[in-house]
Amino acid sequence: MSGSPTLAEFVIAVDGPGGVGKTTVSRAVAEALGCRHLDTGAFYRAATVLAMLHHLDLSNEAAVMGVIAGTGIEYDDGRIFVEGIDMSKAIRTSAVTARVSRLSTLPGVRMLLVRRQREWLAGRGHRAVVEGRDIGTVVFPQAPLKVFLMARPEVRAFRRAGQQAIPVSAARQRLARRDHLDSTRNTSPLVAADDAIVIDTSDIDFRSVVEEILQLAAERGIRPSAPA
Ligand code: DC
């Protein structure tokens, strides 16, 4: 994206750690605005699947970058395709979840995936709700609306335990490990952009969070597209 977005083109950046409701909220906001939703975590997960399929050691950044650079990764409507093959289920396995934070610390890998995410937006009329960890800070720093979702650790662990059918204590441990990796990496650590609006989702239902974001969007002139 170059220059300031016009009202016809916008990005709403939704960042935050795992278990705060980013996906549910950003999908609902995209639906209400009649635009696309991009889950950038799916790119990091797909790259992790690729590295695993090629039996690559994640410390070998050049090799991981090589396979990513030579592979088509497409995201469409909540599904991710690697060389045209739907990998949406494969990217959610516990083996991938256990490795993806490590892969996402590699600066060269991030550079390649950020480029793909920007290309994705350019191919979709520059209108989207984009969720991730570095959307407001690195991927689309010109986004006219940046939201950073957070929630208390026990609430996040409880939500994750429900989604993954694991004990709350295990969910809490895993989230703490991933938070540590995501927030202490040198390149694009998880941090709220200075101009992000921070919303604590611990004690409010997701509909209210969606309404709040739509209100913030309207204040910035971002409104639902007219039906085609
Ligand atoms: O949102 P998720 O759980 O699918 O993200 C998977 C991992 O990818 C997570 O450890 C953080 C990383 N990630 C990232 O570093 N930057 C993004 N924009 C999105 C995800």
Judge if pTM exceeds 0.85: yes
CB 75 within 8 A of CB 87: no
> What pLDDT is attached to residue 6?
54
227 CA from centroid of ligand 1 (Å): 33
Please report, as a single letter, which amino acid is at residue 75.
Y
41 CA from centroid of ligand 1 (Å): 4
Name the residue with tokens 């469409």. 76
- pLDDT, the chain, mean: 91
Nearest CA residue ID for atom 16, ligand 1: 133
> What pLDDT is attached to residue 3?
52
204 CA from centroid of ligand 1 (Å): 24
Q: One digit per residue, pLDDT tens: the chain, 228 residues? A: 445 555 556 899 999 998 899 999 999 999 999 999 999 999 999 999 999 999 999 999 999 999 999 999 999 989 999 999 999 999 999 899 999 989 999 999 999 999 999 999 988 888 899 999 999 999 999 999 999 999 998 999 998 888 888 899 999 998 898 888 888 888 888 889 999 999 999 999 999 999 999 999 999 999 887 654
Nearest CA residue ID for atom 14, ligand 1: 133
- Around ligand 1, the residues with Cβ closer than 6 Å are 18, 40-41, 44-45, 100-101, 104, 132-134, 178, 182
Nearest to 26 by CA among 12, 8, 46, 40: 12
CB 178 within 8 A of CB 104: no
User: What's the rounded Cα separation, in Å, for the pair 98 and 101?
Assistant: 7
Name the residue with tokens 């997701």. 206
